[in-house]
Structure 1
Amino acid sequence: MEAFNLYLPTQLIFGKDRLGELKDKIAPYGKKVLLTYGGGSIKKIGLYDKVLEQLEGCEVFELAGIEPNPKIESVRKGVEICKKEGIDFIVAVGGGSVIDATKNIAAGAFYDGDPWDLVLDSSKIGRTVPFFVVLTLAATGSEYDGAGVISNPETNEKLFLGAPNLFPVASFCDPTLTFTVPAWHTAAGAADIMSHTFEQYLVAEGNTVTDGLCEAMLRTVIENAPKAIANPSDYNARSELMLASSFGCCGLLAIGRTPSPWPCHGIEHEISAFTDITHGAGLAIITPRWMRYSLTEQTAPRFAQYGVRVWGLDPKAPAMETARKAIEKTAEFFVSIGIPAHLSDLGVTNEHFEEMADHLLSHWWPLTGAIRPIDKAGVLEILNASL
Structure 2
Amino acid sequence: MHDFIFQNSTKIIFGKEKEKLVGQEAVVYGKKLLLHYGSGRIKQNGLYDTVVKSLQDQGIEIIELAGVQPNPRVSLVREGVALCKEHDINFILAIGGGSVIDSAKAIAAGTKYDGDVWDFFTGKAAVTECLPIGVVLTIPAAGSESSSGTVITNEDGWYKKSSGHNTMRPQFAILNPELSYTLPAYQTACGITDMMAHILERYFTNEKNVDLTDRLCEAALRAIIHNAHTVLDEPTNYDARAEIMWSGTIAHNDLLGTGRIGDWGSHDIEHEISGIYDIAHGAGLAIIFPAWMKYVYKHDVNRFVQFANRVWNIEIDMNNLEKTALAGIKKTEQFFTSIGMPITLKEAEIGEEHLEEMAKKATENGPLGNFIKLYEADVYQIYQLAK
Please report the TM-score for the alignment, with normalisation by the length of structure 1: 0.96
Paired AA for residue 39 in structure 2: G
The 3-state SS of whatever aligns with 2:347 is: helix
The 3-state SS of whatever aligns with 1:150 is: strand
The 3-state SS of whatever aligns with 2:116 is: coil
Cα distance in 1 between the residues matched to 2:309 and 2:159: 38
Cα distance in 1 between the residues matched to 2:245 and 2:369: 32
Moved more, 264-273 or 120-129: 120-129
Paired AA for residue 60 in structure 2: C
The answer on 1:48 being equivalent to 2:38 is no
The answer on 1:13 being equivalent to 2:13 is yes
Task: Name the residue aligned to 1:311.
Answer: 312
| Alpha-carbon distance, 1:83 to partner | 0.8
How big is each residue's C-alpha offset from its partner over 1:258-316, in whole Å with a ceiling of 9 and x where there is no partner? Answer: x12301100000111111111000000111111111121x5111011011111111135
Cα distance in 1 between the residues matched to 2:365 and 2:274: 15
Task: Name the residue aligned to 2:325.
Answer: 323
Task: Name the residue aligned to 1:111.
Answer: 113
Task: Name the residue aligned to 2:375.
Answer: 375
Task: Name the residue aligned to 2:167.
Answer: 165
Out of 277, 292, 295, the residue aligned to residue 293 of structure 1 is: 295
Out of 216, 222, 228, the residue aligned to residue 213 of structure 1 is: 216
How big is each residue's C-alpha offset from its partner over 1:23-44, in whole Å with a ceiling of 9 and x where there is no partner? Answer: 2212221111110000011111
Task: Name the residue aligned to 2:26.
Answer: 26
Task: Name the residue aligned to 1:38.
Answer: 38
Cα distance in 1 between the residues matched to 2:99 and 2:16: 23
Cα distance in 2 between the residues matched to 1:319 and 1:116: 46
Out of 340, 344, 347, the residue aligned to residue 346 of structure 2 is: 344
| Alpha-carbon distance, 1:193 to partner | 0.6
The answer to whether the 8 A contact 1:183-1:229 is kept is yes
The 3-state SS of whatever aligns with 1:16 is: coil
How big is each residue's C-alpha offset from its partner over 1:69-123, in whole Å with a ceiling of 9 and x where there is no partner? Answer: 0000110111111011111111100000000000000011121122111222374
Equivalent pairs, count: 383
Paired AA for residue 310 in structure 2: R
Cα distance in 2 between the residues matched to 1:260 and 1:213: 14
Cα distance in 2 between the residues matched to 1:308 and 1:341: 22
Identity percentage of aligned residues: 42
Paired AA for residue 154 in structure 1: D
Out of 73, 96, 119, the residue aligned to residue 71 of structure 1 is: 73
Q: CA RMSD in A?
A: 1.4
| Alpha-carbon distance, 1:129 to partner | 1.1
| Alpha-carbon distance, 1:21 to partner | 2.1
The answer to whether the 8 A contact 2:23-2:51 is kept is no
The 3-state SS of whatever aligns with 2:145 is: helix
| Alpha-carbon distance, 1:54 to partner | 1.1
Map 1:152-301 → 2, pairs under 5 A: 152-206=154-208, 207-257=210-260, 259-296=261-298, 298-301=299-302
Map 1:89-108 → 2, pairs under 5 A: 89-108=91-110
Unmatched tracts of structure 1, length 5 or more: none
| Alpha-carbon distance, 1:246 to partner | 0.6
Cα distance in 1 between the residues matched to 2:235 and 2:181: 5
Cα distance in 1 between the residues matched to 2:307 and 2:78: 43
Task: Name the residue aligned to 1:335.
Answer: 337
Moved more, 163-172 or 13-22: 13-22
Cα distance in 2 between the residues matched to 1:235 and 1:189: 17
